[in-house]
Structure 1
Amino acid sequence: MMTWTHRTFAVLIAAWFCSSPVTRADEADTQRHVVIVSLDGLAAYLVDDPKVPLPTIRRLAREGCIVDGGMTVSNPSVTWPNHTTLLTGVRPEKHGVLANGVLVRGPIGMPTVIDSKRDQADLVRLPTIVDVAHQAGMRTGEINWPCTRGSESFDDQFPDVPDALEHSTPRLLKELVELELLDEDIAGSFKQLSTVGRDHLWTQAACHLIRSRKPNLMLVHLLNVDSVHHTLGPQTAAGYTANAYADMCLAQIVDAIDDAGIREQTTLIVVSDHGFAATPKAIRPNVVLREAGMLAVDAGKLSTARVHVVPEGGIGLVYCTNPSESKQTIEAFKKLFLGKEGVADVISPDRYREVGFQHPREYSQSPDAILVAADGHSVSGSVTGDTLVASNTEARTAIGSHGFLSTMPKMKAMCILSGAGIPPGTHLSTIENIDIAPTVAQILGLDYPSADGKALTVLQKP
């Protein structure tokens, strides 16, 4: 199995650029601009919900193109994997991001853990469309985009990562202080911000970069909708308020494009990374495994395990800690869970083609099986309690969840394109999010042959 290091990544990047046609700045369309705004967790079904005030989103849809019914996302339907799919045009089985961090297997008997404090080089196994744009001499920027820490392909960045300020562009942070968006005590003032406050900061930072730098490719990721949907549920009064606030932030970004004088040359792509489902119940597979003697608990925490489950919302990633016993262990796992309340399926590696995962023999981060929760249930990582099924409050899980298989209609993501090259009033049937990166490449005149998706046919030639 290959261990991914910065050196490995650098070698692969160099090999990719040597073997692929690299677009030069004089070949790429440096007068064109693409702004991608990701409204985390704003499910496709909300665009047609009359209770949601979304004037900006609906206006952009009328003036451009909307994907009817929403955009199909990748498995797992969580944030970092799907933001990486948007930038690579390939599913996680190729780009390698399966969680909000790197899944690190321990030695025999020790649990797998998620390490979020990683660079892009540790996470992503091939160049992104941003890397290609930068190589072509284009200006690039990102605000709160996942899996970009440590990238050298951004002129300005403020990545979505723990300790984000330590990995942000110093000149950008200095400008945010000058704009009075952060105090001189940058870390202290940022830490005090609520999720709403951070969305405001990130929106204003994006607007500043658009006005002052006019990037050819700008990425913006806002989080408040996702946060509220988790804690208070989608299609609730609080959820609708969060949706409306996201729309207001988007309106400010549109205004910044106008202020920059680049509206006629800018294509705006508004997406979400996944949908949302209400999950008033949860399943606690690690409780069942504890009772079966397949894992041990110390002081209320998982200590050692023959097999255990890492929760990803509507699915659980099942890890066996002894590879030589994995086949037998998974068969025992299936007998414990198949047909039980709250369990929709247990998918073993022989079925991974269905969900777009690599076999764990091919990629160490891949799980040994996937536990799928039934609609209305999420997967808890709790090791305490007495029953498989519990209320979300007892299981300490969110009332709203994603992470379900991408075939669930509620997981469909919003996708709207508007502006340069997009004919108004256009509708597309459902697409996959692997189509976004090649669409960006076509708009900017870049060669990006590694994508599995295809540029959307709605595009008009400039």
Structure 2
Amino acid sequence: MPRLLRLLALLLPLGGAACASVPETGGSETGGPPPVILVSIDGFRPDYLDRGVTPNLNALAASGVRAVAMHPSFPSITFPNHYTLVTGLRPDRSGIVGNTMYDPAMPGMRFSLGNRAAVTDRRWWDQAEPVWVTAERHGLRSATLFWPGSEAPIHGVRPADWLPFDGAMPPDDRVDRLLSWFDRPPARRPRFATLYFNRVDHAGHEFGPDAPQTTAAAALIDQAIGRLVAGLRARHIDADIIVVSDHGMAATSMQRIVYLDRIAPAGTFRFVTGGAYAGVDAAPGVAPRATPGQAARLAAALLAHHDHMACTRRQDLPERFHYGHNPRVPAFICVADVGWMIAASAAHPPRTVGGDHGYDAMAPEMNATFLAAGPAFVPGRVIGAFDNVDVYPLVMTLLGLPPLPSDGTVAPFRPALRQ
């Protein structure tokens, strides 16, 4: 513990003191509508706010609204939930059904987080329309400092300002880049902007949600939030700031892994994705040596009872999952008990074993964070838990834009809005 305290002491100088300098050309706000800044802290559980290391986030929540919890959509992983937050569509409808996926309409192609050709290919994203596309079409300038989908010309439209994802960019540098976009003349400043931090999620995966390293990562990002708030204040920009996470995190272990090759016949399936949940394709011809008889045996093996894992045909998933109808969803979905993981084989174990996410979205460990402050919000409000599909209509309301049909509603936020 002393070592942690020493580390936190280094990480917790107030954000205002660390704020980037303001160029003389920054100017002040000219009375136009406030910009909306959507901030994602990947993997940030709501209870991280109670660890005594997030004074800036807690101050922001106290000056506005904080939710008891926000439920992610299934699967509770990064790309699907980030796209849900800016489209209001659950993954089954947005088309981003996983961090890794295949599409029968694009044979031979594989989508994954590290595949830049896929990440920048609009065909994976065009089943939905994110906020920034609608904003640009209505003449509102948008800027995305890292957000899944923002590197692709979705429906032929890009944000006015965007950068290719750089996971190594320090948090303060991300804040400074975003603030630099507000140093322009008012007409060229973003009306809608996003900001993304990945460090808390990485620490949670590597060390676990309860580890001191994860608490230290939360403290570091809190410092960056303080830098953002102070930077906007110095520029006389009164923004509506919404801080969210995409999912929570559960502690895992190398001693709690289910290996599918010990259950399913070898050579009869394609392991699409694994971890807290697994996606398995089993149709004849998907795996090189699969036959109809082998596929039937695979189905029987997967659908049998298993300790610490339950497998279901995609079309038979419980309705509360809102998942399984998009053709990109694998034929079988296996969900591990919270704290367990699923791997294809012992030869290919999970890359990190400290923590994981992707479980049933209603598991408490998967709860995501929501807080917001700014001229649109009544100070000191606490609202109940809601589904993350509701963030999209909130953002569109703040921007004064007509929301597209979605799975969300602005109703949970009405008690916290000034109008």
TM-score over 0.5 for the alignment? yes
Partner of 1:38: 40
Contact 1:111–1:308 at 8 Å: present in 2 too? no
How far did residue 458 of structure 1 move? 3.3
Query: Is 1:288 paired with 2:262?
Result: yes
The separation in 2 between residues aligned to 1:405 and 1:235, in whole angstroms, is 20
Provide, for residues 150-204 of structure 1, a one-character-per-residue CA deviation record: whole Å limited to 9, x for no partner: 33331110143xxx6xxxxxxxxxxxxxxxxxxxxxxxxxxxxx84x53333222
Query: Is 1:340 paired with 2:306?
Result: yes
The separation in 1 between residues aligned to 2:370 and 2:88, in whole angstroms, is 15
The separation in 1 between residues aligned to 2:87 and 2:110, in whole angstroms, is 26
Partner of 2:414: 457
Task: Describe how 1:349-428 pairs up with structure 2 within 5 A.
Answer: 349-351=315-317, 353-359=319-325, 363-382=326-345, 384=347, 396-428=351-383
Matched AA of 2:122: A
Matched AA of 1:155: A
How far did residue 284 of structure 1 move? 4.2
- Sort the Cα spacing of 1:336 and 1:451 in 2 relative to 1 into closer, same or farther, 3 A: closer
- Sort the Cα spacing of 1:378 and 1:89 in 2 relative to 1 into closer, same or farther, 3 A: same
The separation in 2 between residues aligned to 1:284 and 1:261, in whole angstroms, is 54
- Choose from 281, 287, 299 the match for 1:319: 281
- Choose from 271, 274, 284 the match for 1:309: 271
- Sort the Cα spacing of 1:255 and 1:395 in 2 relative to 1 into closer, same or farther, 3 A: closer
Partner of 2:252: 279
The separation in 1 between residues aligned to 2:59 and 2:375, in whole angstroms, is 15
- Sort the Cα spacing of 1:132 and 1:53 in 2 relative to 1 into closer, same or farther, 3 A: same
Partner of 1:97: 96
- Sort the Cα spacing of 1:356 and 1:64 in 2 relative to 1 into closer, same or farther, 3 A: same
- Sort the Cα spacing of 1:85 and 1:326 in 2 relative to 1 into closer, same or farther, 3 A: farther
Partner of 2:10: none
The separation in 2 between residues aligned to 1:73 and 1:220, in whole angstroms, is 19
The separation in 2 between residues aligned to 1:346 and 1:45, in whole angstroms, is 32
The separation in 2 between residues aligned to 1:101 and 1:157, in whole angstroms, is 23
- Sort the Cα spacing of 1:327 and 1:373 in 2 relative to 1 into closer, same or farther, 3 A: farther
The separation in 2 between residues aligned to 1:340 and 1:84, in whole angstroms, is 32
Partner of 1:78: 77
Matched AA of 1:375: V
How far did residue 62 of structure 1 move? 0.9
Partner of 1:121: 122
Going by fraction, where is strand more abundant, 1 or 2? 1
The separation in 1 between residues aligned to 2:105 and 2:296, in whole angstroms, is 18
Query: Is 1:158 paired with 2:121?
Result: no
Partner of 2:66: 66
SS at match of 2:417: coil
Partner of 2:197: 222
- Sort the Cα spacing of 1:82 and 1:326 in 2 relative to 1 into closer, same or farther, 3 A: farther
Query: Is 1:207 paired with 2:179?
Result: yes
- Sort the Cα spacing of 1:44 and 1:313 in 2 relative to 1 into closer, same or farther, 3 A: farther
Contact 2:172–2:224 at 8 Å: present in 1 too? yes
Count of aligned positions:
372
Partner of 2:384: 429
The separation in 2 between residues aligned to 1:364 and 1:79, in whole angstroms, is 20
How far did residue 286 of structure 1 move? 3.5
SS at match of 2:395: helix
- Sort the Cα spacing of 1:279 and 1:326 in 2 relative to 1 into closer, same or farther, 3 A: farther
- Choose from 142, 145, 148 the match for 1:146: 148
Matched AA of 1:54: T
- Sort the Cα spacing of 1:103 and 1:256 in 2 relative to 1 into closer, same or farther, 3 A: farther
Provide, for residues 124-144 of structure 1, a one-character-per-residue CA deviation record: whole Å limited to 9, x for no partner: 212112111111111110111
Matched AA of 1:329: A
How far did residue 334 of structure 1 move? 4.8
Provide, for residues 4-48 of structure 1, a one-character-per-residue CA deviation record: whole Å limited to 9, x for no partner: xxxxxxxxxxxxxxxxxxxxxxxxx96231001100000122223
The separation in 2 between residues aligned to 1:67 and 1:370, in whole angstroms, is 30
**What is the aligned-residue identity percentage?**
24
How far did residue 430 of structure 1 move? 0.5
How far did residue 98 of structure 1 move? 1.4
